Amino acid sequence: ILYIDITRTEDGTPYIAASSYVPTWVRNRNFTIIPVADALQEQIPDLRTEEITRMRQVQLDVTHMFSAEPIEELQSEYPITRERFISDFPGLPLWGSLPWR
């Protein structure tokens, strides 16, 4: 899940004021979306060992993709900083725009 807070400057120019993400897991049995950190911290009773192992890897993979390095500690939401987007994607008219846009 990706959260993006878009706002405007006084002259009306849009910019991304803040952004964050939440790694999730979709259970194939009933297509339930589960936030990974919640599932791993609360120890949901009907999770299989394979699901827990894969969720831990998903958390590392997703945080590595968005943060440039895996984040070991579990959080309910991970911020994406403005500075990272400016340095990684200079020259975009709306800084922070997703690079695949």
Q: What is the 3-state secondary structure (H, E, C) of 67-96?
A: HCCCCCCCCCCEEECHHHHHHHCCCCCCCC
- Count, in order, helices (H) and strands (E) of the chain: 3, 5
Q: Is 74 left (phi over 0), alpha (psi -120 to 50) or beta?
A: beta
Kindly list the averaged pLDDT for each block of 10 residues, start to end, along the chain of length 101. 87 84 85 87 79 89 82 87 51 44 32
Q: What pLDDT sits at residue 23?
A: 92
Q: What pLDDT sits at residue 96?
A: 43
Q: Answer whether 39's CB lies under 8 Å from 16's CB.
A: no
Q: What pLDDT sits at residue 97?
A: 44
